[in-house]
Amino acid sequence: MKILITGGAGFIGSNLSEQLISQGHKVRVVDNLITGYRKNINHLLHNPNFEFIYGDITNLETCRIVTKNIDAISHQAALGSVPRSIDNPLGSHNNNVNGFFNILISAKENNVKRVVFASSSSVYGDEKTLPKKEDKIGKVLSPYACTKKINELYCDIFTKCYDMEVIGLRYFNIFGPKQDPKGDYAAIIPKFIDKIMNNESPQIYGDGTYSRDFTYIDNAVNANILALSTNNKECFGEVFNIANGGRISILEIFNKIKTYLDSDINVKFIENRKGDIPHSNADISKAKKYLDYEPKIPFEQGIKKTIKYYLKLNYNKNSNELVKY
């Protein structure tokens, strides 16, 4: 297959690109490099099965161009982060809603039936029931969650109205190699690792009891490949939880990383953030049943692999490893 990956220079997109190429597929990446990094795909640029297009999916004409002569689309492009969306709701809507809509319109025009897109566990909002089941969501708590919920609605509509095969993957806190540890909106695991390696005290919002269903990157990549290739018609127009199916508190994660890195650094507790969901734990039975999804890398193995990756990069305060090109 020839597969378009939007946001393919980002954390998940670049890992997915590598895996698809290793399986013999052709990959075209479009990325505006706002949250993605050319460094993530530099090693692929000379591969004859890889094509990179610098472009922005908020431009409909760009989307029309990049979706030509494509068999399937993996839509990973987005402005992630709940706090970022609260700080910049217009940017989140423009990229996450308008950008996705442009991809769907362009896919329809260019006869690309299969579109797999990244949704988020944030759509569960204030629904307190654990574990989270796909058909039971509450009121969203942030602009970011709202954008992903709108994406899911369009998933259903384009499948029903235009005979497309749109599949949504609700990610639960994906982590692993190539995730950016720097900046105000960095995810918690790479940020913890980076801070501890630099002998700095990381911050935890609240008292550390909030918990998440952290999911190693290889599991998310595998879920995307399964969704891109499935022949199961019951998957079309549906969304699926992609997770490990367990949960661990933020403070527990800090202590694990601290132990693995043989550090005695202490954490700083600060006020809870707006828009944060207290607990997240996925029921992945639907993905298992319809996509044959199975998380192959458990949390403990994933966190060790991630720490090993960052140790190899040997980050320090003056590191330019993740400086954008």
Residues taking part in catalysis: 144
Length, in residues, of the chain: 325
3-state secondary structure (DSSP) of residue 69: coil
> Phi-psi category of 65—alpha, beta or left, where left has phi over 0 and alpha has psi -120 to 50?
alpha
Q: Rounded to whole angstroms, how far apart are CA atoms 283 and 277?
A: 16
3-state secondary structure (DSSP) of residue 226: helix
Nearest CA to 317 out of 181, 166, 160, 140 is that of 181
In order, the DSSP letters of 55-68 are --TTSHHHHHHHTT
3-state secondary structure (DSSP) of residue 171: strand
Amino acid at 265: I
H-type alpha helices, 115-266: 143-162, 188-197, 217-229, 250-260
Dihedral of CA atoms 166, 171, 174, 178 in degrees, nearest 10, equals: 30
How do 72-75 and 26-31 pair as beta strands?
unpaired
Token reading at 72: 């399937």
Cα distances (angstroms) measured from residue 318 to each of 182, 262, 314:
12, 22, 11
In the structure, how many helices (H) and strands (E) does the chain have?
11, 13
Backbone angles phi, psi at 67, to 5 degrees: -90, 0
Stretch (H or E) spanning 100 = helix 99-109
